[in-house]
Chains A and B, each alone.
Chain A
Amino acid sequence: MKNRKLASLPAIPYVFWMALFVVVPLVLIVVYAFTSESGGFTLENFSSIGSYTMVFVRSLVLSLIATAVCLIIGYPVAYVISKEGPTFQRVAMMLIMLPMWINFLLRTYAWMSILENTGLINTFLSDIGIIGLINRLFGLSIDHLPLINTSGAVILGMVYNYLPFMIIPIHSVIVKIDKATIEAAEDLGADSVTVFRKVIFPLSLPGVLSGITMVFVPSVSTFILSKLLGGGTSMLLGDLIELQFMGGAYNPHLGSAISLVMMIIVMACMAVMNRFGDGEEQAVIM
């Protein structure tokens, strides 16, 4: 008994950290969400969220699309990499993580200069005459394609920034699949498509689920992305919350309520996902 207590000593700094920086802020958010400026109990914060329904819907839709795109791009990449030799795998995974060594804002500014009306893509397209061609074909008179300040650009930003979080967990699950399991399926008559469908994919689902979580959660709460790439026209939840705490609309009580609702929505999504993960895995995604 005494030894056990001793053994748990090293966990104390972390427990302290968690209490101070996770539990306390959470409690504060809950308190703020249910109180008014004067300090009394109120549900008004929640009832006024209704006017921001569009922000919630837009955030969820854009995040879901970004997550789906990440999955569609990330799964094949993870699968192909996992088939290669160990050196190739190490190098490939390093390259995939490389952009994350660069500051998030910097990467996003880079995308701005690529997507801008006078940016890299539009300049290139007009230089080689594509813009002119489009004008002639459709009888238009545009001098650039609308790339920046669109929902598409926001989704692109999400996919670009969070794609590694999809690839890494899927890859690490696929490489751990016992090769003998795949051979056993071949031995029992399964061709390579059937092996993938009935063995590799179901066994990789835990990686897919954590990939989806790791992309969806930061996507839904992201801010700045919509301001920089979406031109502020399509506000997302993250920006709305920021506005309540740091911006002109200063109202931490409303901000807390929005944060709380967002947290509940995310947790509900994750709970549903995990339910699928336990049972009929194939049926859900296929």
Chain B
Amino acid sequence: MSEKLINLENIHKDYGGKTVLDNINLYVRDKEFVTLLGPSGCGKTTTLRIIGGFETPDAGVVYFDGKNMSDVPAHRRPVNTVFQRYALFTHMDVYDNVAFGLRISKVGESEIKERVERMLKLVNLPDYGPREVSSLSGGEQQRIAIARALVNHPRVLLLDEPLGALDLKLRKDMQRELKAIQQQVGITFVYVTHDQEEALTMSDTIVVMNKGKIQQIGTPVDIYNEPKNAFVADFIGESNILDGIMHKDRLVSFCGRRFDCLDGGFAPDEAVDVVVRPEDFEIVPPEQAQMVGTVKSVVFMGVHYEIMVETEHFTWMVHSIYETHVGDRVGLFLTPDDIHIMRKS
């Protein structure tokens, strides 16, 4: 897991004077599941296309296994791609689609047959070989696209929002299946998505991007629990973000009150962003609370209620499994490790 299989160094890319990628430095280890996560237009797909060889960076180098890949065209790179809208060959049946790459690398027909059949079994579509692509559902087409890429035994599989066009239930199933496939075949996945939940459930490493810059690289747990800045905190999960003043290490004030926290290393009285996850609040009787407010709205979300609590200084989003009613006076309580302090960016 320590080998740097893909290494991007100082990648820069402009489109018509607009910077799409600004000094991207990133490496992917062998057999790792890396997700590039960010809102649309953040540069995640461009990064993937640079790895695949479909875009050329204006500056910077892509290394693959230590070798400079800059001048290697897409069709000679040891990576395969699963495209967003599947991009299957509609003039061929399923078998010929999956066999396409093997035929080009002149693999013998008997071996092709064996490998295609094994791959169709892996994606749970055995006996689909003679079917026409147009007769398949979206989920089936996506599986064929995955099979068509994986059958070539690439060192790395690039996936560009592969589940974006599927409905919620199917997407959940495919997430699980993809993860299982990745573990089964043991190859590196570089996965692009804007769906933070997808990123959290599937990845070994998440790269959060915004406006062409990497915001944070870390494990899902790190990214969720220790977001580096307000953007990451806001993008991953739900967050309350507000202004605060860091008086000294482990003491912050916001909402007209001082709170103990766990962060340090700021200048005295530095202005900071304070981030609180909605699920970290405890709703307590007003007399035991740090802040008291009025319930403005309650929305049932399935497992929990999403409650907006208006206090004197700020309206908090609170997740609670206990029901409250609009107009209730409630108290809010935070322990020091519920409060995350971030430098203003």
**Are the C-beta atoms of A188 and B91 separated by less than 8 Å?**
no
Interface of chain B residues 48 through 97 with chain A (CB within 8 A): 52-54, 73-76, 79-81, 83-85, 87-91
**Bound CA span A180–B86, Å:** 8
> Taking chain A's interface residues, is the majority helix, strand, or loop, or is none over half, making it mixed?
helix
Please measure, in the bound complex, the distance between the C-alpha atom of A281 and the C-alpha atom of B91, giving whole angstroms: 9
Q: Are B83 and A183 in contact (CB under 8 A)?
A: yes
Shortest distance from the beta carbon of B20 to any chain A beta carbon, whole Å: 18
Residues from chain B with a CB closer than 8 A to the CB of A188 are 75, 80, 100-101, 104, 148-149, 152
Check if B73 sits within 8 Å of A184, measured CB to CB: no
B105 at the interface (CB under 8 A from A): yes
A147 on the B face (CB < 8 A): no
Report yes or no: A180 in contact with B152, Cβ–Cβ below 8 A.
Answer: no
Count of residues in B whose CB is under 8 Å from the partner chain: 25
Complex partner residue of B85 from A180, A190, A281, CB under 8 angstroms: A180
Interface flags, B135-157, vs A, CB<8A=1, else 0: 00000000000001100100000
The answer on a CB contact under 8 Å between B152 and A186 is no
On whether the beta carbons of B52 and A187 are closer than 8 Å, the reply is: yes
Whether a CB of chain B sits under 8 angstroms from the CB of A175 is no
Bound complex: CA A186 to CA B72 (Å): 12
- Do A190 and B104 form a contact, CB below 8 Å, given A203-B90, A203-B91? yes
CB proximity of B160 to chain A, nearest CB, Å: 9
Question: Which residue on chain B has the smallest CB distance to residue A205?
Answer: B91
Pair A180/B91 contact, Cβ less than 8 Å: no
B74 CB contact (under 8 Å) in A178, A183, A203: A183
Does A180 lie within 8 Å of B87, measured CB to CB?
yes
Check if A191 is an interface residue, CB within 8 A of chain B. Answer: yes
A186 touches B83 (CB 8 A): no
**Contact residues, A178-200 vs B (CB, 8 A):** 178, 180-181, 183-191, 194, 198-199
Nearest A residue (CB) for B100: A188
Asked if A202 is an interface residue, CB under 8 A from chain B, the answer is yes
Contacts A189-B75, A189-B152, A281-B91 hold; do A183 and B54 have CB atoms under 8 A apart? yes
Q: Is the CB of A181 within 8 A of B89?
A: yes
Q: Is B74 in contact with A194, judged by CB distance below 8 angstroms?
A: no
Given contacts A178-B85, A183-B74, A184-B83, is CB(A189)–CB(B91) below 8 Å? no
A194 touches B104 (CB 8 A): yes
Q: Which residues of B contact A185 (CB under 8 A)?
A: 89, 100
The bracket for how many chain A residues form the interface is 10 to 19
- What A residues does B53 contact at CB under 8 A? 186
Bound: A140/B74 CA distance, A: 59
Nearest-neighbour CB distance to chain B for A276, whole angstroms, equals 13
**A187 and B80 contact, Cβ closer than 8 Å, known pairs A178-B85, A180-B85:** yes
Q: How far is the CA of A213 from the CA of B88 in the complex (A)?
A: 29
Q: Closest chain B residue to A183 by CB distance? A: B54
| CA–CA, A106 and B105, complex, Å | 55
**Closest partner residue, chain B, to A180 (CB atom):** B87
Closest to A281 in B: B91
Known interface pairs A189-B75, A191-B75; A202-B91 also in contact (CB < 8 Å)? yes
Report how far A191 CA is from B53 CA in the complex, Å.
13
Interface positions, chain A 186-241, Cβ under 8 Å from B, are 186-191, 194, 198-199, 202-203, 205
Which residues on B sit within 8 Å (CB–CB) of A186? Answer: 53-54, 73-75
Q: Which residues of B contact A191 (CB under 8 A)?
A: 75
> A180 touching B84 by the CB < 8 A rule?
yes
Q: List 22 A-B contacts (CB under 8 A).
A: A178-B87, A181-B87, A181-B89, A183-B54, A183-B83, A184-B83, A184-B88, A184-B89, A185-B89, A186-B53, A187-B52, A187-B54, A187-B79, A187-B80, A188-B100, A188-B149, A188-B152, A198-B100, A199-B89, A203-B89, A205-B91, A281-B91
Closest 5 CB pairs of A and B: A188-B101, A180-B87, A184-B87, A189-B104, A186-B74
Interface residues, chain B, with chain A CB atoms under 8 Å away: 52-54, 73-76, 79-81, 83-85, 87-91, 100-101, 104-105, 148-149, 152
Q: Tell me the A residues contacting B by CB distance below 8 Å.
A: 178, 180-181, 183-191, 194, 198-199, 202-203, 205, 281
